[in-house]
Amino acid sequence: MKRIFMVEDNGDHALLIRKGIEDGNCAVAHYRNGLDFLKDCEELQAHDSRPDLILLDLKLPGMDGFEVLKHLKAIRTFEQVPVVILTTSQRREEIEKAYQLGAAGYVVKSDDFGTLMTKLKRVKDYWFHTVERLRPEQVTKVGGT
């Protein structure tokens, strides 16, 4: 079963996102803020456990999505986990910053339910059925070590 971690403070958005991606082959864990999410990630690191995909909102209470992304990419266990920004912002500087900090994708939420469902299905299909990804044990450091 594939696991997705979703960091989303808006309960309505979280419900719609879950509806668009969760099924019998995919489970979603929902976090309402970045601090709780990062705390769980630190604990999961100790067990060498990680999700298959992370969906991250930018506008979060306490710590914004950029800070969460920066901290997340510093956790060794999560270096190779794709993080897709899922937000309402279309600002060019935010898109650039997300990619500079290591986001694997940037998706703008749609106000239209059908369009949002289509985008979520495409994200899920891309990461779970289209691209080939290395398993953590297959990743080698630069220089072959």
Q: List, for residues 89-120, the tens digit of each pLDDT value.
A: 999 999 999 999 999 999 999 999 999 999 99
pTM above 0.75, yes or no: yes
Residue range of the domain that includes 112? 2-129
Q: Is 134 domain-assigned?
A: no
CATH number of the domain to which 28 belongs: 3.40.50.2300
- Phi, psi torsion values for 63, nearest 5 degrees: -140, 120
Q: Which long-range contacts (CB under 8 A, 24 or more apart) does 122-130 make?
A: 123/21, 123/53, 123/55, 123/84, 123/86, 124/4, 124/21, 124/26, 124/53, 127/52, 127/53, 127/82, 127/84, 128/2, 128/26, 128/52, 128/53
Q: Are 116 and 41 in contact (CB under 8 A)?
A: no
Residue 143 confidence (pLDDT) above 90: no
Q: Is 104 domain-assigned?
A: yes
